[in-house]
Chains A and B, each alone.
Chain A
Amino acid sequence: MHKFFKRDLLIILACYVVHASVYAAQMSLWDQLNASGTMMDLFINLMSAICASMANTAFRLKSETVVVSQVFKELAYGIGIGLTAGVVTYSVAEAAEANNFLQLALVTLAGWGGAKVIESYSNKYFGGKSEDAS
């Protein structure tokens, strides 16, 4: 029960922060992206997030308890999650005008952690199937 509460709190917090970042972006998004260096920062940050998510995938593949039946599905899933978590965290950090390195660290951790969070949720939804995967 306690764990459930913590998880849902995290989700609510994430939703709130995303909305805050949307409201913070008053200027046109495209204008801001085209501002000097932002696109390159976004690119590098996203690569880092995807890489972190792939790190999670690599450890899943190496793990003896998790048996992955469709490797390509697993990879696509990893890339998608890394991208989503990366974009969300990048926007939040950008809206908060965080330091570049703090931003990179947050985005990378989100790439890693995003996979974990969604994994635990899909475990909840499609329970049993990956029960042996914990």
Chain B
Amino acid sequence: MGLTLKRHARNRAHLSVNLSADWPIRVFYGLMTLYQGLFGLFVPSSIFYQALQNYEGAAAIITCLLAAGALLVVDGLFAMIRYCTHVSCERVDPAMVIFNRWRPLLFLPPVFCYYVTLILVNRQLQAGVLTVIGYYVVLAVLGVVFSLRDGIISQNAQRRGPNA
């Protein structure tokens, strides 16, 4: 297959097969985010649940987590189909161009949600504060790293030009 870059006439988004190669990361982080949102709805020990108990506005955080997670999973599944199968993806290409362009907005909102939630609940936590905070900080940093990695891949694909 190699590196096939298509240049779109209107918005010059480079949509190479290699840009779809990191589908496991998208699925992983999407599921992770989705689970956090679902935990926030149903599991009492989750910090999102506690935030929801104490503040009405925390529903927005959970909505954001669920939406970003679901979109990332969809994006990851599209990318998996493009990368791993011979199915022609002409029909999902416009959607992939949009995803490809705005992917930082899928990776980064959960990060902000984690930080806001930490601030919301950090007055009420007693035992294991450091573990909980550490866990969410690591998740947040992972989101940032994945987002940057995605950007670096598209920079490399772009610099190498459409015919390389």
Show the binding face of A for B, using Cβ within 8 Å.
Answer: 37, 40-41, 44, 47-48, 50-52, 54-55, 57-62, 64, 67-68, 71, 75, 100-101, 104, 108
Contact = CB atoms under 8 A, between A and B. Distances in A.
Nearest to B147: A58
Contact of B158 (A41, A67, A71, A75): A67
Interface string B144-159: 1001101110110011
7 residue pairs, one from A and one from B, having the closest CB atoms: A61-B151, A58-B104, A58-B147, A48-B115, A58-B151, A54-B144, A55-B108
A70 to B, nearest CB: 11
B104 A51 contact: no
A108 B13 contact: no
Given A40-B122, A58-B108, A64 B140 contact: no
A44 B118 contact: yes
Given A51-B140, A100-B119, A62 B112 contact: no
B122 A68 contact: no
A57 B147 CA distance: 10
Interface in B48-102: 101
Contacts of A47: 115, 137, 140
A83 B14 CA distance: 32
Contacts of A64: 12-14, 158
A67 B151 contact: no
Contacts of B112: 48, 51-52, 108
Interface in B117-163: 118-119, 122-123, 133, 137, 140, 144, 147-148, 150-152, 154-155, 158-159
Contact of B111 (A51, A60, A104): A51
Given A51-B140, A54-B148, A104-B116, A59 B104 contact: yes
Contacts of B151: 57-62
